[in-house]
Amino acid sequence: MAKTIADLLIDSLLNAGVKRIYGIVGDSLNAVLDSIRRSGRIEWVGVRHEEVAAFAAGADATLNDSIAVCAGSSGPGNLHLINGLYDCNRSRVPVLAIAAHIPSSEIGSEYFQQTRPELIFKDCAHFVETVQRPEQMPLMVNMAMQQAVAKQGVSVLVLPGDVAGLDDNVAVPNVSVHVAKPVVQPSPEDLTTLAAYLNEAKKVTLLCGAGCAGAHDQLMELCEKIKSPMVVALRGKEHLEYDNPYYAGLTGLIGYSSGYDAMMDCDTLLMLGTDFPYRQFYPKNAKILQVDIRSEHLGRRTPLTFGLVGDVKNTVEALLPMLKEQDNSKHLEKHVKAYQKVRAGLDDLAVGKPGRKPIHPQYLTKVASDLADEDAVFTCDVGTPTLWAARYLKMNGKRRLLGSFNHGTMANALPQAIGAAVAQPGRQVVALCGDGGLSMLMGDLLTVRQHKMPVKVVVFNNSALSFVEIEMKAAGYPETGTGLESPNYAAIAQAMDMQGIRVEDPADLEDAMRQAFEHDGPSIIDVAVNRQELSLPPKITYEQAHGFTLWMLKAVLNGRASELVDLAKTNLIR
């Protein structure tokens, strides 16, 4: 039997080490699905929404450090991929999306389900090309994968359904993707300049992000040598929070005062592997130095004194011999002690007294962290689940934390948990979901059930889009449109023939979580948490304080003074 273009596609994916494709079937994908069936060597992971397919592929690629693949049928099918693909591209995750297309002869005729995928995906991908002739394959798919791997992002291969079924007997090369891992470090002259700035400084603070992965030991040595506290951006948490005596906490909207103060109090800020976006959290009167693997990131968040291109590990290794040993540790000790004080205060909030309802979300997150496996993979929805994960999940160098930290979309936790469970089937996966996020893509609980994934879905059920409520209050607006009539998700799980546990009393939480974590199948733990839990950023602006005052006044005038009493009872107005 002659090979088809779809066969060349599947053979190329197999040569690149791809083991599965996430997606939903459709007639424009028929030739691809038939090739998968006949090959018997690649798995089709069917989901209930294509957005889930893209997020799952991103989680798969992140955990396995390799390219992953998702697919959508023509028109509406592949359009649903776009939100997940934006997230993957912004998080620098190599993903190939197969966007099936209408019959090639009908392109331009306003045919059923026609869209313009070659234009639609341009903004969220490094490579978007359409296969039009057999002669383009397998080179086209190899180019797409190479771009995704080399640029650490998304490639989209547009494949009309009829073209996928065309005959083509070209041989597929044995090596289709070249994964290069060059060592990138600044020139000797740049390193000398950087060292001079650091040697002259009296109070250096480090701001470290996801680009510091794999450089934990080198950064500990750097902090010790220059007596620097380390502030961490959220994506750096899993790589740097543990075994770190120099830790001053997180900064930004979900950070702590200790992290903010450590940056504002320095005379020199050294940014390493971070593209931290919030300009209001950078110091105004300090020298700012930046090391990043991507030169286009230099100075795009705040004006720089000096910027260098290099990967963090090798740059720091080359820099260390050029630095003077600092003997004044007052700056370091001050901000580490400040973090320890903040940490103690945060821990005081993570308690669960029997009968104290609704449950503190801090306590829920701490229990999840305490009971989860040492190498658990956590995913967290955008909003308050990300906030509580940042503050209460303990990282140890083995655990992973995935979220939509750059793109900031709702409903990412469940899809990423699906990808994590498929990518590393022996590993515990815990999804921290908001009731708003879970309900947006709740249909894929059926994917979890169908594929028998032992994912633990922890629902922060507060019947609200609570982070949006906080933002409204800070701006002085009475919250509008944020209330949710959330059901009992445990009952929904039971209706799907999955374990479902509802928790309303803190006294029951630990046993319920332990029962769910020990269960050998999927489980939903639906926890009624406090809607009025107020989390404030480390820097309170005049506008925010004014906004909260306006909100309280409007709440009273609108007959909602009881909400203020609830806040006071939970010790959140201090």
* Distance in angstroms (rounded) separating the CA atoms of residues 37 and 52: 22
User: What separation in angstroms does the CA of 347 have from each of 4, 17, 259, 344, 462?
Assistant: 60, 44, 17, 5, 21
Say if CB 524 and CB 562 are below 8 A apart. Answer: no
Residue 467 is among the residues annotated as catalytic for this protein: yes
Q: Which residue, among 59, 92, 69, has the nearest Cα to 23 in the 3D structure?
A: 69
* Distance in angstroms (rounded) separating the CA atoms of residues 44 and 78: 16
Say if CB 221 and CB 377 are below 8 A apart. Answer: no
Residue 112 is among the residues annotated as catalytic for this protein: yes
* Distance in angstroms (rounded) separating the CA atoms of residues 421 and 31: 28
Q: Which of 95, 113, 172, 460 is catalytic?
A: 113
Residue 50 is among the residues annotated as catalytic for this protein: yes
Residues 6+ apart with CB under 8 A from 459: 433, 434, 435, 438, 489, 524, 525, 526, 527
* Distance in angstroms (rounded) separating the CA atoms of residues 266 and 203: 5
Q: Which of 32, 47, 50, 428 is catalytic?
A: 50
Helix (H) or strand (E) holding 72: strand 68-72
What angle (nearest 5°) sits at the alpha carbon of residue 456, between those of residues 451 and 457? 100
Q: Which residue, among 146, 91, 101, has the nearest Cα to 121 in the 3D structure?
A: 101
Q: Which of 95, 382, 455, 529 is catalytic?
A: 382
* Distance in angstroms (rounded) separating the CA atoms of residues 416 and 425: 13
Residue 231 is among the residues annotated as catalytic for this protein: no
Residue 113 is among the residues annotated as catalytic for this protein: yes
- What the block records as the tokens of 15 is 């040569």
Cβ burial 134-169 (10 Å sphere, 16+ → b, else e): eebbbebbbbbbbbbbbbbbbbbbbbbbbbbbbebe
Q: Which of 112, 179, 184, 280 is catalytic?
A: 112
Q: Which of 281, 467, 517, 548 is catalytic?
A: 467
Residues designated catalytic? 50, 112-113, 382, 467
